[in-house]
Amino acid sequence: MSLGAPAADDLQPASFAFTPENRARVETILQRYPADRQDSAVLPLLDLAQRQHDNWLPRAAMDHVAEILDMPKIRVYEVASFYTMLNKAPVAKHFVQICRTTPCWLCGSDEVERAVRETTGAAPGETVGDFTVVEVECLGACVNAPMVQINDDYYEDLDYHRTVQVLEALKRGETPAIGSQTGRHGSEPAGGATTLTKLRPAGTAG
């Protein structure tokens, strides 16, 4: 889930332009697509614009992307409205997305949400201080449920106390270790690997 409703007019900047560095990235992105298919670059350009503009897309940024790609503005608005990773309103420094799909719920996402509410003071859909909180559907880390995404990072194998630890570290300006919060390697079984526990050295015959 993103913040889908457009920001109020008084929050919309009058103009937007890519920085010289990002404009160079735009040119690199455009080279990936045929000359008659440049509008296929709309999603990566919107993502780049969002990253430049404090993790949300003002209308001026969408208009700028439309101008670069020679697309009708409404088509760019349609893309921005469809994809949930694009925020159309401001978010705080720490954008907390709580997964509430069935595997996370069965594994304790209610307690994760309680930890988020009590630690940040923000309920889903709210911004308090440096935290914006939303509920989302599947983030694709079901094996390591429950989990949250904060900005670009996944924090997995959470419970109430581990969630509090992650959030308190962010409050202190620290960078918590991403991934499993129990020390699990990747998405191996919670009790440790049960197969392929003895791997042959590379280059040896089977």
In the chain, which residues fall in CATH 3.40.30.10? 94-180
The stretch 65-74 carries a mean pLDDT of: 96
The stretch 136-156 carries a mean pLDDT of: 95
Per-residue pLDDT band for 4 (boundaries 50, 70, 90) equals low
CATH architecture of the region 94-180: 3-Layer(aba) Sandwich (3.40)
Give the pLDDT confidence of 161-198 residue by residue, as tens digits. 999 999 999 999 999 999 999 988 888 887 777 777 77
pLDDT, position 206: 53
Longest dimension (CA), the chain: 68
CATH architecture of the region 9-82: Orthogonal Bundle (1.10)
In the chain, which residues fall in CATH 1.10.10? 9-82
